[in-house]
Amino acid sequence: MNKTFYKPNIIISKCLNFDNCRFNGDMINDNFLKKLWDFVNYIPVCPEVAIWLGTPRMPLRLVNVDNETRLLQPSSKSDLTDEMDYFSETFLKTQKEIDWFIMKNRSPSCGIKDVKVYDKVDSYSINNKYSSWIFGNKLYEMFPNIPTEDEWRLKNFRLREEFLSKIFCLAEFREINKTKKISDLSDFQAKNKYLFMFYSPSIQVLLWQIVASYNKENSNEIYNYYFKELIKLFNTKTNIWKMVNTLTHIFWYFKDTCSIEEKQFFLETIGVYREWRIPTSSVMSILKTWALRDKKEYILIQTILNPFPKDLVELIDSWRILEL
């Protein structure tokens, strides 16, 4: 069954594969983000170049000045806070239909968290404060419901896998959000049932209730409410047990059609999976094969079995093996 994947729109720090715009004239080569080029719409931005600092340039840092965090350039003692603030607001105001932000880890301008704040412009002592600032803060302020990620966290294969599932799901939601139809929303909810269960069974149920309360007069309100809860769901922490629970729920669809040996094989595979010795897709393949054999349409449409384009599945799995 061929599935259409909508391209997620992602704002990304420009120094991640796009331009040699780091303060020292470097660019960061990130293979994973590069592989996504054909599958997403990237919108690269370098806030420091955008405020005319040029490349190469002397580095910037966040400094505590009279209990206020400011963006300073130690070499010139310039305070660039207002310029960065103005740029961030102006740039972000022009952005529409964004699904995700990927920002450079720990950058004083792009960082979304864990950015060091120094005590003084010319000292190395840290103000015991880690923060996001200016551009990062503006993202949170102007796009409170749009998820953010830094490239460093995406080096973890599990986070990468979840990230991919989420961005393609959100891109599809953005499309159906344009129609505001109940049929689109209920189809979306139905096919994401097990993906949502993996994140949070309780929010998954709440999403069904939101769909059930739809009527033509409240379609805008319902879509907005649904989206907020969807983001809340995707922000829920996951673990291997949650995935095992979800896979086991799907497994029960085949309790009457599988032989004792097949059931035994599945349970053994789940045991190996629990120890992270095989990827999630190996377990999914078994369930998918049974769903095809038994013509279980409701299972075949589930996004959890096919959450992102196949070419990325290979990439994820091969990296996973390398990391084990």
Site residues (CB under 6 A) for ligand SF4?
A: 13-15, 21-22, 46-48, 104, 107, 109-110
Q: What is the DSSP string of 81-145?
A: HHHHHHHHHHHHHT--S--EEEE-TT-TTT-SS-EEEESSTT---EEEEEE--THHHHHHHH-TT
Nearest approach, Cβ of 90 to ligand SF4 (angstroms)?
Answer: 16
Nearer to ligand SF4, 70 or 193 (CB): 70
The alpha carbon of residue 58 and the mean position of all alpha carbons in its chain are separated, in whole angstroms, by: 32
Nearer to ligand SF4, 110 or 203 (CB): 110
Rounded to whole angstroms, how far apart are CA atoms 64 and 117? Answer: 6
Nearer to ligand SF4, 104 or 288 (CB): 104
Nearer to ligand SF4, 57 or 191 (CB): 57
Rounded to whole angstroms, how far apart are CA atoms 20 and 26? Answer: 5
Nearest approach, Cβ of 101 to ligand SF4 (angstroms)?
Answer: 12
Helix, strand and coil content of the chain, in percent to the nearest 5, comes to: 55, 15, 35
Nearer to ligand SF4, 15 or 92 (CB): 15
The one-character DSSP state at 7 is P
The residue of the chain with the least Cβ separation from ligand SF4 equals 15
Nearest approach, Cβ of 137 to ligand SF4 (angstroms)?
Answer: 14
Contact 63, 121 (CB under 8 A): yes
Nearest approach, Cβ of 314 to ligand SF4 (angstroms)?
Answer: 29
Amino acid present at 127: N
Nearest approach, Cβ of 103 to ligand SF4 (angstroms)?
Answer: 7
